[in-house]
Amino acid sequence: MDEVSFLVELITGGNITSSLPASFTTYNAANSPDVADNWAGSADIVFGGGNGASKAPTPNVIDIRNLGKNRGARYDLSKKDVIIVFEDSQDIEYPTIDWSVRNESFTMTMNIRTIVDERAGANDDDGDNSFGKERLENLYKVLRHRIESHRKGATVTLSGEVKKFNQLVLNSRSESNDRKKRIYGYKITVSMKKFATSL
């Protein structure tokens, strides 16, 4: 499993072990942010009262290298919102004098996309595109919860392969909109760090 697959699995959920204390595994307003098993669980925590499915339904989370139909360069946003994940860079440092261990840092980019289409219904009759803006903001809030609730590390198991990171940090966010195509988007960067890997 590579780093992009790790992040895709972390966002969608399932097969994740968090490094946060056990007290964070059950929803409790006093212990926020809480850890949820999947996107839908995080959405319910963020919006409360089981409103997650309507405010931020589970998007398709795609590894940009996927060559499958409707899973790569072209995507039909009217079917589902999308988060596209790819790796920007990797940095390695050797913190000991004998170079016996290494620390690894990965910078990842995620593009969140939603479109203003017939789903907006009467919400956009005034022309302010409130559906798209609100949907984008809601998707961002849930994505932020997925990352921050595993900020002290997580282990993901996928097809029998295990990968662990010690730290996940949500970094920058910038607008990435296409007015002509009525697409709203954010470009988000995440740092994933792995410490003291033996050589």
Check residue 17 and report its DSSP letter: E
Task: Identify which of 6-20, 62-76, 111-125 has the greatest average pLDDT.
Answer: 6-20
Q: Provide the number of structural domains found in the chain.
A: 1
Q: 183 — phi, psi (to 5°)?
A: -110, 130
167 Cβ contact list (under 8 Å, min separation 6): 151, 152, 153, 191, 192, 193, 195
Paired sense of beta strands 60-63 and 82-93, if any: parallel
* pLDDT of amino acid 186: 95
Inform me whether the pLDDT recorded for 59 exceeds 60.
yes
Q: How far apart are CA 26 and CA 31, in angstroms?
A: 9
pTM of the model: 0.84
User: Of 1-10, 32-41, 42-51, 175-184, which one has max mean pLDDT?
Assistant: 1-10
Q: What is the mean pLDDT of the chain?
A: 83
Q: What is the domain extent for residue 94?
A: 3-198
Between 58-72, 97-111, 134-148, the lowest mean confidence (pLDDT) is in 58-72
pLDDT in tens, 101-141: 999 999 999 999 998 876 666 555 555 558 888 999 999 99
Residue 56 phi, psi dihedral angles, 5° rounding: -145, 75
* Helices 3-12 and 130-148, axial angle in degrees (round to 10): 110
DSSP assignments along 162-189, one per residue? EEEESEEEEEEEEE--BTTTTEEEEEEE
